Amino acid sequence: MLAPLLPRPACETAAGGRPEKHHRRAIVDALRYVTDNGIKWRALPSDFPPWQTVHGFFTRWSRTGVFEKIRDQLRGEIRLRAKRNPAPSAAVIDSQSVKAAETVGRPWRGYDGGKKIDGRKRHIATDTQGLLLVVLVTAANLQDRAAARLLLPALHAVQRGVRWIWADGGYTSADLVDWAQKTLRITLDIVKKIAGQKTFVILPRRWVVERTFSWITQARRNVRDYERLTDHSAAFINLSMITMMTRRLTREKRTKTT
Q: How many domains does the chain have?
A: 1
- Model-wide pTM > 0.85: yes
DSSP letters, 226-256, are --SSHHHHHHHHHHHHHHHHHHHHHHHHHHH
Tell me: the pLDDT tens digits for 206-234? 789 999 999 999 999 999 999 999 999 99
* Contact call for residues 127 and 75 (beta carbons, < 8 A): yes
How big is the CA angle at 166 (ends 149 and 168), to the nearest 5 degrees?
A: 80
* Contact call for residues 36 and 220 (beta carbons, < 8 A): yes
Task: Quote the mean pLDDT of the chain.
Answer: 92
* Contact call for residues 243 and 56 (beta carbons, < 8 A): no
Looking up residue 226, the CATH number of its domain turns out to be: 3.30.420.10
pLDDT band at 10 (very low <50, low <70, confident <90, very high): confident
What is the extent of the structural domain holding 48? Answer: 3-193+200-257
Tell me: the pLDDT tens digits for 59-103? 999 999 999 999 999 999 999 999 999 999 999 999 999 999 999
Tell me: the pLDDT tens digits for 194-209? 666 666 566 667 789 9
